[in-house]
Amino acid sequence: MSVKKKAFNPYLPSWEYTPDGEPYVFEDRVYVYGSHDRFRGHVFCLNDYVCWSAPVDDLGNWRYEGVIYEKTQDPLNSNGRMCLYAPDVTIGPDGRYYLYYVLDKVSVVSVAVCDTPAGKYSFYGYVMYSDGTRLGEKEGDEPQFDPAVLTENGKTYLYTGFSWRTDASRHGAMVTVLDADMLTILEGPRFVVPSGSYSKGTGFEGHEFFEAASIRKIGRTYYFVYSSVVMHELCYAVSDSPTGGFTYGGVVVSNCDMHVDSYKPSAMPGYYGGNNHGGLVNILGQWYVFYHRHTNGTSFSRQGCAEKITVKSDGSILQAEMTSCGLHEGPLPGKGEYPAYIACNLLCGTESVYSGLGGWMDNRFPLITQDGRDGDEEPGYIGNMMDGAVAGFKYFDCINVQKVTITVRGYCRGVFHVKTSLNGPVHGSINVDYTNVWTDYSAEIPLPDGVQTVYFEYSGEGNASLASFALC
């Protein structure tokens, strides 16, 4: 009998940067489709589409399926000057898998197709009106962006859109109905969720549509998930029809944990966030939200995360809290070594909802990063932990923990205080000193039994990096 691998956040290897994740269960595996950032990239989505999958009963065991679509396969991008933005996938009436996407410098929706979920996709065509005019190029069309697709009863519902808060030229998220050929428009675009300029009196005020459309059906209800105008939160709206009548539901997840007050004030960020994109999936009866976090002190090296969510009997969804365990069946075992890159909370004396305010290695904030170049399978770690910086990890099932070990490097001299709540007592401290190589430091530190968060707060001079910690 094989032993299941531990599931963490991010759910993919620490050197993989696949944001905008749309998860689907096909047969007995979960497949995630997203865009593909570059480590230390200078813009979003510089790499080709890749796919990862995992058995539905072993969500820590992700398999790299390889590159499924290259940016130069689109006839509009044979020179590779444009990037592949966030895609979505649906099964067509013919049983094939259709991948919808928008390139970053055009306003049309492209489609690729494959016979299998994660094989090599081939360019198929552009979404178009019956006269051959491409969607997004007809007079009166608004620009297409971030497609989401749902297919049922021989029709495909295509959701798109992008709207800055104050841009009155953009009305919000729109839906377009496609024929069984997956390209031809049966019903032209109609708006389903308002932008900031058109939300008065709609119930969406303060959470208007920005981007990142995603669509799912739960029972008889359609759930439209999207990134609101504040960017860091994924919200949802519900309707009994795929083409209209959506009402605001609430926030599903925030990638800086805004609105969560279980361990901090609700208006205080628990991480350095930014734009957000993801979708919902039911795996063996448990619902999850997939989303992404920001790393490396920029907005251009994002990583996929996931959290359990509760869909209540009335159809409402409770906002998920960011955790380190994510897809794990429960709290992580309170014994053993864990990589520091699974931190779900990063804090310091300077609060900020958004990452990347000062560019790469902004010296005001701790950040998750790695050594090497993009594609190098180098483990991630937390860098730039200066005086007052806190890294938080949740949750662990602690039983008789007596000793804590940390692996640290950097020009630093001080202590790491170990706590189980942000404003709670220090259970013990670990002294660290200047070192150019990863060095283990330990101390006898009893932790309370039970399900706990573990916080490491650095106090001292210089700049520390944290690679891992162990509970014994």
Instruction: Catalogue the active-site residues.
Output: 20, 211
Query: What whole-number distance in Å separates Cα of residue 107 and Cα of residue 402?
Result: 58
Query: What is the torsion angle, in degrees rounded to the nearest 10, for the CA atoms of residue 10, residue 364, residue 234 and residue 228?
Result: -150
Residues 6+ apart with CB under 8 A from 95: none
Query: If DSSP states are collapsed to H, E and C, what string results for 408-453?
Result: EEECEEEEEEEECCCCCCEEEEEEECCEEEEEEEEEECCCCCEEEE
**DSSP label of 44:** S
Distance CA(345)–CA(432), nearest Å, equals 21
Buried b (16+ CB within 10 A) or exposed e, 346-383: bbbeeebbbbbeeeeebeebbbbbbeeeeeeeeebbbb
Q: Which two tokens stand for residue 42?
A: 């200078």
User: Residue 282, exposed/middle/buried by CB under 10 A (0-12, 13-18, 19+)?
Assistant: middle
Terminal Cα-to-Cα distance of the chain (whole angstroms): 27
Cβ-in-10-Å burial (0-12, 13-18, 19+) of 219 comes to: exposed
Cis link prior to 13 (omega < 30° from 0)?
A: no
* Tokens (6 digits) for 125: 């065509």
Q: Are residues 428 and 395 in contact, defined by beta-carbon separation less than 8 angstroms?
A: no
DSSP structural state of residue 321: P
State whether the Cα torsion 10-14-19-23 is positive or negative.
negative
Distance of alpha carbon 195 from alpha carbon 354, whole angstroms = 21
What is the per-residue DSSP string for 152-183?
ETTEEEEEE----TT-TT--EEEEEEE-TTSS
